[in-house]
A and B are shown apart, each in its own frame.
Chain A
Amino acid sequence: MEDAFTIANKNFKSRLIVGTGKYKNFEQTASAVKASGADIVTVAVRRVNILDKKQPLLMDYLNPKSITYLPNTAGCFTSADALRTLRLAREMGGWRLVKLEVLGDKKTLYPDMIETIKSTEILVKEGFEVMVYCTDDPILSKKVEDAGACAIMPLGAPIGSGMGLQNKVNIELIKEQSSVPVIVDAGVGTASDATIAMELGCDGVLVNTAIAEAKDPILMAEAMKYAVIAGRKSFKAERMKKRKYGSSSSPLDHLI
């Protein structure tokens, strides 16, 4: 496959991963996912609502046979909770490729990296392929890779903040030193943020709130699709060198 995006030995066409939270309803979720062209969607594990059995199910709108479900531990603040969530996800239908996120603070939603690394080691031992949400610290993200992560997912800015990549230098350093895919997760606020992440050389981008909270989520999903494609092509094309002064685009010889 041309310019394949490979995670844990599986090839994916789209380098955009989308979250399925915060949408108005499942119809809108499904339309946005379709418009985004994503092959992977993150999903959360929660209790079935026993009192209201008529509630629609995500699986009735997004077929896990045609799109890769990436179970996520969003909302887990301890290693124990995260492990429990992913073990349940695996039991649900054999999901081994998972996204680990162990949060350390309710306000910033910053990851607790000590708990995250500990959980990664345990999950890898249990046979999971773990994509790991982490801070944009090159030392800690290296430790995440050493713990056996199949992808590193540094934050661009806090989850749901839409502030864009706050530390491009760190993201670039992390990409340079990693031998597993680096996917910017969290902080993307608009399409150009996704392009910037891809231009830095990242392998992919995960977006949820920027699509779900756009006035027109379906249109923004499509914008994200093209933004990621543009950023990837731009990175591969290798941009021109910057100059301090102007350089005429038309030849100056034979001027009339």
Chain B
Amino acid sequence: MISDAETRDRADAAMHGSEALTHLDRLEAESIHIMREVAAEFRNPVMLYSVGKDSAVMLRLAQKAFAPGQLPFPLLHVDTTWKFREMIAYRDAMAEALGLELIVHTNSQGVADGVGPFTHGSRVHTDIMKTEALKQALDAGRYDAAFGGARRDEEKSRAKERIFSFRSKHHRWDPKAQRPELWNLYNARVAPGESVRVFPLSNWTELDIWQYILREDIPLVPLYFAAERPVVERDGTTIMVDDDRMPLDEGEKPEQRMVRFRTLGCYPLTGAVASSAATVEDIILELLADRSSERQGRVIDADQIGAMEKKKQEGYF
């Protein structure tokens, strides 16, 4: 299934010879190295598969790391039962097409208690159906390592997290007691019950991810691409009405709009953005344009600061 990309890459390689590896080549090599370390050092690893774009890239890298062999670990999807229907369809199609061992876990107690975002709010829903469910699944599988697709550029605390991030028996992260991580040497030692979360995409940025998806022709859930979708506006967020579990307020009527999603999760908690980006190329351009418009916005802000200062000098309170 990588054969298309394969031919193109070989042509690329022939073109630039071996001289400089590109930035993507280096990131790719680093991620593959990390995955092989995990497979070799841990007793029972698993890959957390969220069905999103980062997971898709992570999965492709794993295939490359162990080709022509199969992945030496299963995938684990924590299903909150509120994911977009297209995500589940894509997930099952990928597992089938690639012959993957896919474990799907749902917090059955949560389901029995009727927990959901509309009835319990996002905090409780996320805690019970995602966080708790994940711990249940990790404990049940007695995994000592779990791959995750998080990136350091995503969030502040992630910028300081290690690639091999140690977790206690209770799955807790202690940011103050992280193991030093040098060169490409990783400490994979854990006591029984303890585990390590491994982030092979740590050094990738969002733009890197999209460029890699383009270069490798990685299929994604269609929700990433703009299409006419039925949506409603709620508290400033555009929510897609994905099934009839969504209670509509009186007079609230889903309306067809050109939208796409930048991240994917539970449909009631995921905001759509207005967009006409229908291809990976379009999305990359959209990301770039967002940045430059933000730059432009900034110039105005800077002006306003100056203006404020002036007003103050003029006696403004």
| A and B together in one complex | no
Interface residues of B (CB under 8 A from A): none
